Structure 1
Amino acid sequence: MSARHVILVGLPGAGKSTVGPLVAAALGRPFLDFDVELARRIGASVPEQFARDGEAAFREREAVLSRELAAAPAMVLAPGGGWLANSAASAPLRPAGRIIYLRTTPAAALARLGAAVADRPLLADADDPLAALAALLARRSAAYETADLTVDTDGLDPAGVADRVAALVRAAEGGA
């Protein structure tokens, strides 16, 4: 099988942005974090974009970026946590990508986020960020479960998660 995009999905705090560069290095591919790229293009952080333009505008920007990347050479991609649940964003990349769900519990995701929870638009204003993550998982789990492959991340450090993802990708692409 030819190389396809590796698209890491999961809750905020699942490790997409941390694990992605490690997977990219292991596979010899570029890495692109959607949040970083959209912040660069718009000139505003994701929380600023949500506050100024709303979630719908942000999700449309993700969809535009997905359409652009559909024909790009194979990369490791880290879209936002809601990307897979937004079919307008995920559909253009599905044929060109191998979607890998970084499965984690809300408690583990919250522990990984730490103080950075304040930078997550859908969690920053929550009275109970753990309950907010659990609600996100409940809303998105059906979409996450449509991923091509799943890696359970709880109890693993980023290098361990990256090793598992890279091994799964190599096996899927017929490599060692």
Structure 2
Amino acid sequence: MPDGGTAPALGLPWWPSAPEPVDPAAAGVLVLALGVDPRVAEVATAWADEAERVAPTRVVTVPEGIDGGAATVSAALTTARTGVRILVVGAQYDVLRGLALARGLGAGPRELSAYAVDGGAARADLPVFCAHCRAVRRLHTTPGGTVDCTGCGRHLEVHGHHSASLGAFLASDSRARELV
């Protein structure tokens, strides 16, 4: 874990307290700016300025976030080649889903860096995989918290386990233990 952040509980994503520097060995850099938070633009601009001194750089701004801009992000990712560093900035929901999309298209861990502008928030919009309706939903919660699923309506316990490939936290019916 790089300096500047707090070690998360096992199974949870790690959010640095400040954006990580651009890898000086990058063959190219793709900056994905997801959302309209002013901090997203600030971080994306700083990364782009630094990256342009290192390698060819492309910035893709997706103001609608990952839900509305997945096709734009996917198109940008499919043009990335070996050696390109992919830097993702946005709210936790957008960053986690964006990273999952990048992984699904073949990006490896050394190629990915991320900064969540709301990484220190006690509660935030998070991608949550409901084990009952088997879908990822945007829910305002926290790992270890409870929330109602907007799909099946069950009252979910959001587990402290994040799936990098899904880009979501696992959740199941909070009353499941009582039903046995």
Structure scoring higher RCO (CA < 8 A, sep ≥ 6) equals: 1
Name the TM tier (shorter chain).
0.3 to 0.5
* Greater strand share, structure number: 2
Structure (1 or 2) with the greater helix fraction: 1
User: Larger Rg: 1 or 2?
Assistant: 2
TM-score normalized with structure 2 length: 0.36
